[in-house]
Amino acid sequence: MKVKLAFLVQNEALQKLVEEPMDALTSFRIGKTVSSVQSELETFEKTRQSMLEKYGTKMENGDGLEIKPESKNWKEFVTEYEELVNEEVEIDAKKVKISALKQVKMSPKDLLSLGWLIEE
């Protein structure tokens, strides 16, 4: 399944879904999806870190790198970051029927953010 990185990066709902009890088949599918997503997120984080090394500066406390809107490289960073999160990636995921999640307690907001994974 192809999805944009933005759906994975900003998706806390998938992590919440993993915590919920569900039948074995659905649990297996969600587990495989999470494993595939984790792999993509690791690659994303390495890329984001290299962007911070390229465009950012050391934090005042020395604990890492940062980039702020007032930084001279801010526009370049934002442009490159937007390209990155709009990249489509292939993940190993099978859609899950909403009926298989009937025991799961989630907010409408979380369910909407999982729309790429859920079918009726």
Contacts with 17 (C-beta within 8 Å, 6 or more apart), sequence order: 30, 101, 104, 106, 110, 114
94 in any annotated domain: yes
What domain range is 26 assigned to?
Answer: 2-52+89-119
Write down the mean pLDDT value for the chain: 91
Total domains in the chain come to: 1
Q: Which of 24, 23, 2, 29 is nearest to 14 (CA)?
A: 29
81 in any annotated domain: no
76 in any annotated domain: no
59 in any annotated domain: no
66 in any annotated domain: no
Q: Would you say residue 59 has pLDDT above 90? A: no
57 in any annotated domain: no
Rounded Cα–Cα distance for residues 116 and 120 (Å): 12
**Is the pTM here over 0.85, yes or no?**
no
61 in any annotated domain: no
The pLDDT value recorded for residue 36 is: 92
70 in any annotated domain: no
Kindly indicate the confidence band of residue 76, based on its pLDDT and cuts at 50, 70 and 90: very high
